[in-house]
Structure 1
């Protein structure tokens, strides 16, 4: 996909109703109060010296920045929001709402905007569940305030 396609997916998710129950969609996952789109997914990193992984991580961060620049044109500068404390709070037993609880397990931080048109939060993030697993560029649209 390219940036124009990513923007079209974000626009679609901003306009789409949220489902009553969690489930898969053509773009990723949705649930009560949120949509999550898997914009891009890398390969896995089971072999090698780590160079490919580092290069891929840098590319996914650059892709997030490039897409983020287009969102800055719409909604201004993003809030950069670390999910580390959300993960820590969740591990310590606090009930954190989705999508924030789930994201905190595999996303270190999000770039976050609030759409003036819809009032929904739009987050861009780079996910990786473990060092051998793929990176993903994710877009999240939610009406649930960040914790």
Structure 2
């Protein structure tokens, strides 16, 4: 993982204005009140075995934790925020704002800070989609308070 590149993307996300409509970006997606960027993406696991997937999961969590250490030095310690309850609430029909509802489908938890830009949150999470899909280390900036 290129830490300098990740930090550059994070700083850019924190400073960027939010769009008025949902759309794709060069690294992910943005919508009213949020940006989501893939800081790193693994290969897929269509032909891989369970051990390869477990190794990738461990590496992506280590990468998240490494970035967390750097950001803790800048912004203080994060909150560890589980999205599992958010996912259950969406399944029960509760309306949860984006980006939290969508993230809860494939990101079990995030490390969460008040971003350096007032009124914004920054989160790091590891996307764990279906077994065959790649892992992604995600950077999320939003003005939507966590549910």
Q: How high is the TM-score relative to the length of structure 2?
A: 0.96
Distance in 2 (alpha carbons) for counterparts of 1:123 and 1:2 = 18
> Displacement of 1:132 after TM fit?
1.4
2:129 aligns with: 129
> Displacement of 1:52 after TM fit?
0.6
1:11 aligns with: 11
Distance in 1 (alpha carbons) for counterparts of 2:8 and 2:65 = 17
> Displacement of 1:118 after TM fit?
3.0
1:14 and 1:118 in contact (8 A); partners too:
no
Q: How high is the TM-score relative to the length of structure 1?
A: 0.96
Q: Which runs of 5+ in 1 are unaligned?
A: none
Q: Cα deviations across residues 56-78 of structure 1 (Å, max 9, x unaligned)?
A: 00000000011111110111111
Distance in 1 (alpha carbons) for counterparts of 2:32 and 2:117 = 20
Distance in 1 (alpha carbons) for counterparts of 2:34 and 2:3 = 21
- 1:110 maps to 2:82: no
- 1:46 maps to 2:46: yes
Greater Cα shift, 43-52 or 28-37:
43-52
Q: Which runs of 5+ in 2 are unaligned?
A: none
Q: Cα deviations across residues 16-72 of structure 1 (Å, max 9, x unaligned)?
A: 100000001122100000000011111111234311100000000000011111110
- After the TM superposition, which residues 1-147 of structure 1 pair with which residues of structure 2 at under 5 Å, given as runs? 2-147=2-147
**Root mean square deviation, CA, Å:** 1.1
